[in-house]
Amino acid sequence: MNTKLIYFVTLTLLLSVSSMFSQEKCTLSGTVSDAKSNETIIGVNVYIPELKTGTTTNEYGFYSITIPKGNYRVQVSSVSFQTITESVNLDKNTKNNFKLFSSEEQLQEVVIKKDRKATNIKK
């Protein structure tokens, strides 16, 4: 009885591991640039929510991520830029370039006040 259970567990593990490795993978890559200046942007987050995985752009604004084939949403975000989300159907290696628009927010006036109290120092 015990050996049958061990064989069953071993077979189940082998089948689940082999199905994980049998998924075909593709590479999604491209550049992220500023929509106005067309300059590439360093350190942009490229995130796939369905897989809970992502990457960031390098010093040339280039990103590359290898994931299983499928339909995904790609979220692209960076500080001082508007976040964009695009749907991607990945069935082969795909190049997808993104353009981000500046997030121009005007801060309100900040007033800093300091009250200073006079104190006598006794010697």
The full 3-state SS of the chain, as one line of letters, equals CHHHHHHHHHHHHHHHHHHHHCCCEEEEEEEEEECCCCCECCCCEEEECCCCEEEECCCCCEEEEEEECEEEEEEEECCCECCEEEEEEECCCEECCEEECECCCCCCCCCCCCCCCCCCCCC
What is the per-residue pLDDT across 13-69, written as a single tens digit (0 to 9) for each? 666 655 455 579 999 999 999 999 999 999 999 999 999 999 999 999 999 999 999
What is the per-residue pLDDT across 83-115, written as a single tens digit (0 to 9) for each? 999 999 999 999 999 999 998 766 678 788 877
pTM: predicted TM-score of the whole model, two decimal places: 0.68
CATH architecture of 24-100: Sandwich (2.60)
Going from N- to C-terminal start, the domains of the chain cover: 24-100
